[in-house]
């Protein structure tokens, strides 16, 4: 429906009890859900399961699918950080969910389960781009993060990024970002403030055989130290900061404190001006086949419409990874899945099977770049079923997804989960939807709507959104500074 409907809000069920006693307490006023701290939504309990770097083994994927089927609504939902959410959980499912996840190796440290927020370049080591394969850095960062008692105090919103040098996840605004450097070493960026500079972490002098392992350990240790210095700064400033940008000190001052701490270990060579990042990739890896530059292997890249994977789709992905690929799945921050390691001669048929199951495999699909919050009936704050409206608009237009701006549909002004960078935002209000084009610079261009368009049928709303997604659509020389306008 193009016009949000307003209905009386149902009474909220009693909050779910914590599944395990050592789950992170809410002492920081951070209600971010986890695997052990479930959020009670209108459609039942919600668990957010952190998957560092989005990397899952096929057996772990099977365990998650079992959890969704046995305890939830059967679907798995991808997040903008490459994590997974289960919805529709019963109030008494917390302990059983924790046992399933622990048995699959997805809870290496219950005290850290909400802070293992790590995004990583999903195609690293697969397509020949980037400066190195960052999988060892990712694993080492997760290990050291779980080994830091102080890091367990981080908010569930604090974000790490490990970028192989191509700039994809480095542009996602993480709190601590590691970027591989072509000449060697690693750049450590703090927050999204370019003026803060970047700390150059030197590779340890070591034999070639141990160089990669030593470099991974050095970079990971620096990232965890940066997070610990952030927590120390928050305590000293007397604030409850969830993200680096919430500290009452500049990014440059925080970087200086981190450099002082790391300088004692001899890791810091110098603080450099932050190098310019490539333009933010709004869509992430393109759907389709991803051939390896060398070696007999091809990866599959697919997108889940609106980030939702049915039980059948998830089982097919896990089975494809196990039987045809390397046994690994990589979830992306763009709500996609990469399946590495298929023989080139078998990859097209496997991709066709995923397409038949309803996953997006065409780079030009109108579904590409389309996102939405949970909306009704899952979220009590939403004014309408935005996912149904987003789906109707995506399937009724003729948008070239490979060229169009991403679009994000929100059920209220909170705009939960909206992406960064250039995008179109469709936000529900009491009198209908507002459409704006938002630039990564912060400029906002309201899309004019005639009075009847606020109550327009799907076809008219879809046409308005499709026109706004044209990258050439914003010629307004006087953009506003509000995120939503009528």
DSSP annotation of 226 reads H
What's the pLDDT score for residue 411? Answer: 93
Cα–Cα distance between 32 and 215 in angstroms, integer?
A: 33
Q: Are the CB atoms for 94 and 16 separated by under 8 Å?
A: yes
Taking the CB of residue 252, how many other CB atoms lie within 10 A of it? 14
Cα–Cα distance between 261 and 323 in angstroms, integer?
A: 47
Taking the CB of residue 175, how many other CB atoms lie within 10 A of it? 27
Alpha-carbon torsion (33, 328, 80, 87), positive or negative: negative
Neighbouring-strand partners of residue 190: 176
Residue-level pLDDT, tens digit, the chain, 486 residues: 444 433 323 333 323 233 332 333 334 468 889 999 999 888 899 999 999 999 999 999 999 999 999 999 999 999 999 999 999 999 899 999 999 999 999 999 999 999 999 999 999 999 999 999 999 999 999 999 999 999 999 999 999 999 999 999 998 989 999 999 888 889 999 998 777 778 888 777 654 545 678 889 999 999 999 999 999 999 999 999 999 999 999 888 999 899 889 887 666 655 666 666 555 555 689 999 999 988 789 999 999 999 999 999 999 999 999 999 999 999 999 999 999 999 999 999 999 999 999 999 999 999 999 999 999 988 989 999 999 999 999 988 678 888 899 999 999 999 988 888 889 999 999 888 999 999 877 889 999 876 555 555 677 888 889 999 988 765 554 444 333 332
pLDDT tens for each residue of 188-202? 999 987 777 788 887
Neighbouring-strand partners of residue 45: 40, 89
Neighbouring-strand partners of residue 302: 337
Q: Beta 423-429 vs 407-410: how paired, if at all? A: parallel
Cα–Cα distance between 226 and 154 in angstroms, integer?
A: 12
Helix (H) or strand (E) holding 14: none
What's the pLDDT score for residue 398? Answer: 77
Burial status of residue 128 (CB atoms within 10 A of its CB: 0-12, 13-18, 19 or more) = exposed
pLDDT tens for each residue of 81-113? 999 999 999 989 999 999 999 999 999 999 999
Cα–Cα distance between 372 and 428 in angstroms, integer?
A: 11
Taking the CB of residue 155, how many other CB atoms lie within 10 A of it? 22
Angle, CA of 367, 368 and 372, to the nearest 5°: 70
Average pLDDT over the chain reads 85
Look at residues 129, 118, 201, 127 and name the one whose alpha carbon lies nearest to residue 164: 129
In order of 118, 341, 463, the CA distances from 273 in angstroms are: 24, 38, 44
């Amino acid at each position: 429906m193009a016009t949000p409907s307003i209905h009386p809000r149902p009474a909220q069920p009693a909050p779910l009890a914590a599944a395990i006693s050592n789950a992170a307490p809410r002492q920081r006023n951070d209600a971010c859900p986890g695997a052990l701290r479930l959020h009670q939504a209108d459609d039942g309990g919600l668990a957010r399961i952190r998957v560092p770097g989005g990397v899952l083994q096929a057996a772990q994927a099977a365990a998650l699918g079992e959890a969704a089927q046995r305890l939830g609504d059967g679907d798995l939902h991808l997040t903008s950080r490459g994590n997974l959410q289960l919805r529709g959980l019963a109030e008494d499912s917390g302990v059983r969910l924790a046992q399933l996840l622990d048995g699959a190796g997805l809870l290496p440290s219950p005290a850290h389960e909400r802070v293992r927020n790590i995004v990583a370049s999903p195609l690293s080591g697969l397509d020949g781009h980037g400066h190195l394969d960052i999988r060892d850095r990712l694993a080492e960062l997760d290990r050291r993060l779980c080994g830091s008692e102080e890091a367990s105090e981080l908010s569930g919103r604090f974000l790490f990024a490990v970028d192989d040098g191509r700039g994809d996840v480095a542009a996602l605004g993480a709190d601590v970002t590691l970027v591989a450097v072509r000449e060697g070493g690693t750049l450590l960026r703090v927050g999204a403030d370019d003026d803060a500079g970047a700390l150059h972490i030197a590779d340890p002098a070591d034999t070639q055989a141990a160089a990669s392992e030593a470099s991974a350990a050095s970079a990971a240790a620096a990232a965890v130290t940066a997070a610990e210095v952030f927590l120390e700064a928050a305590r000293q400033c007397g604030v409850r900061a969830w993200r680096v940008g919430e500290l009452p000190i500049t990014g440059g001052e925080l970087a200086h404190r981190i450099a002082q701490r790391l300088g004692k270990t001899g890791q810091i060579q110098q603080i450099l001006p932050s190098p310019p990042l490539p333009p933010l990739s709004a869509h992430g890896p393109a759907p389709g086949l991803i051939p390896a530059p060398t070696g007999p292997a091809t990866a599959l890249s697919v997108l889940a419409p609106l980030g939702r994977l049915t039980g059948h789709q998830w089982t097919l992905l896990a089975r494809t990874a196990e039987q045809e690929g390397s046994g690994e799945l990589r979830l992306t921050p763009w709500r996609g899945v990469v399946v590495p390691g298929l023989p080139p001669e078998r990859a097209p048929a496997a991709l066709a099977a995923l397409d038949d199951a309803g996953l997006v495999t065409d780079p030009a699909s109108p579904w590409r770049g389309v996102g939405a919050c949970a909306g009704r009936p899952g979220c009590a704050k939403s004014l309408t079923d935005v996912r149904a409206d987003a789906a109707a608009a995506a399937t009724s237009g003729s948008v070239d997804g490979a060229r169009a701006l991403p679009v994000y549909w929100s059920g209220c002004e909170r705009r939960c989960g909206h992406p960064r960078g250039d995008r179109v935002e469709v936000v529900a209000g009491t009198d209908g939807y507002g459409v704006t084009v938002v630039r990564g610079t912060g400029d906002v261009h309201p899309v004019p709507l005639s009075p009847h368009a606020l109550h327009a049928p799907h076809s008219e709303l879809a046409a308005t959104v499709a026109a706004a997604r044209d990258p050439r659509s914003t010629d307004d020389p006087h953009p506003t500074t509000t995120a939503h306008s009528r």
